[in-house]
Amino acid sequence: MFFKGFMSAFALVAGHEFVHMRGWWSEFGNIPLINSGMSEILDEHIHNHHKNVGTPADPATYELGSNFFLTVPGRVVRNNKGTFERYEHRIKEKHGFNSWMLTLTCNKYLFYKAIEAAIVFLVWFCFGYGGAVVQMWTMFYGHFWLEFLNYIEHYGLLRMKDKDGIYDPISYSDSW
């Protein structure tokens, strides 16, 4: 189980790199991220993290003095909430309004989470309870290693605001 979880973390790194690519290549990033239960990263990483790294708005940036184990659950919730809300905002912009029917049919966050649940169900159906436990452990372990990597890369980084309240441009000093 340890090995499968560790391999999941390596697959997340590959999926992360594919998400950065333009065109159809970026779709390959979906596979390891969804399999690891982290489909929210597809949107969160590109549309929030890159823009807000080193600021309190970025869930991947850990404040100086923060405890890794105490802050990870809140960061996972913030990632999911932020992704859901961005998709909701896009639906409202596209259609001029939003309803529960549009949310159920057009919100990609819910679509990807349904695929994640279907993967766990399929593993349970094919391999039983033990297989589902291994799959969920893999998802948890992938989350753990990704957040640990974020902690190492972004711990204590803080971009300064100028006199107009605008954050400094992102530079190499915003990541270790």
Q: Where does 60-101 show beta strands of DSSP type E?
A: none
What is each CA distance from 96 to 90, 93, 99, in whole angstroms? 10, 5, 10
Would you say residue 75 has pLDDT above 80?
yes
Calculate the average pLDDT of the chain.
84
Does the pLDDT at position 6 exceed 80?
no
Residue 38, Cβ density class (10 Å: 0-12 exposed, 13-18 middle, ≥19 buried)? buried
For the chain, what are the domain ranges? 2-159
Residue 2: its pLDDT value, please?
63
* Spatial contact of 13 and 86, defined as CB atoms under 8 Å apart: no
- Model pLDDT, residue 81: 92
**Residue 115: per-residue pLDDT:** 93
* Alpha-carbon span 137 to 43, nearest angstrom: 23
Tens digits of residue pLDDT in 105-154: 889 899 999 999 999 999 999 999 999 999 998 888 888 888 888 888 88
pLDDT band for position 96 (cuts 50, 70, 90): confident
